Structure 1
Amino acid sequence: MEHNKPKPDDRSDNVEKLQEMVQNTIENMEEAEETIQFSDGEDIQQVKAKNKRRQASIESMQAEMKDEAEAENNKYQ
């Protein structure tokens, strides 16, 4: 009987992945802001609310990037 072994935890590229996610989120925010000029009141409020959530996500990802960078510098000890 063969047991499923979990894959080893490879965190070596987490910072790069997080940076890409932050950049994509920023681009989505910018695109959403551009659509506001063609939107009405309720849509504008939805875009602003979504961008506020995106900003919170960016802040979380940046904090995680900092943690990952520190862990990488400490060789994940």
Structure 2
Amino acid sequence: MAYENKPKPDDRSDNVEKLNTMVENTIENINEAEETMQFADGEERAKIAAKNERRKESIEAMRAEIQDESQARQNGFQ
């Protein structure tokens, strides 16, 4: 039995919405982590702070990707 391994077509139609959801979830994670920091000791607090910094960097990257995807959407995904 022969199977054709065709890649799925590139469907970028909802990427902006998915990325916006990811940004919102990451912001929620930052807020929850900051609440947790109140009960953490020094070392754990430093780990949480470092992770939140990485999350903030990820948010910046996702927002840049949102801009790219928005422009692609306006240009008809060409």
The TM-score, its normalising length taken from structure 2, stands at: 0.95
Match of 1:21 in 2: 22
Gaps of at least 5 residues in structure 2 are: none
Match of 1:33 in 2: 34
Q: Superposition pairs for residues 33-52 of structure 1, below 5 Å?
A: 33-52=34-53
Identity of aligned residues (%): 62
The TM-score, its normalising length taken from structure 1, stands at: 0.96
Amino acid at match of 1:52: E
SS of the residue corresponding to residue 39 of structure 2 reads coil
Matched, 1:73 2:62: no
Gaps of at least 5 residues in structure 1 are: none
Q: How many positions carry a matched residue from both structures?
A: 77
Amino acid at match of 1:6: P
Q: Distance in 2 between matches of 1:16 and 1:40?
A: 37
Following superposition, the deviation at residue 54 of structure 1 comes to 0.1
- RMSD across aligned positions (CA): 0.8
Moved >3 Å (runs of 4+): none
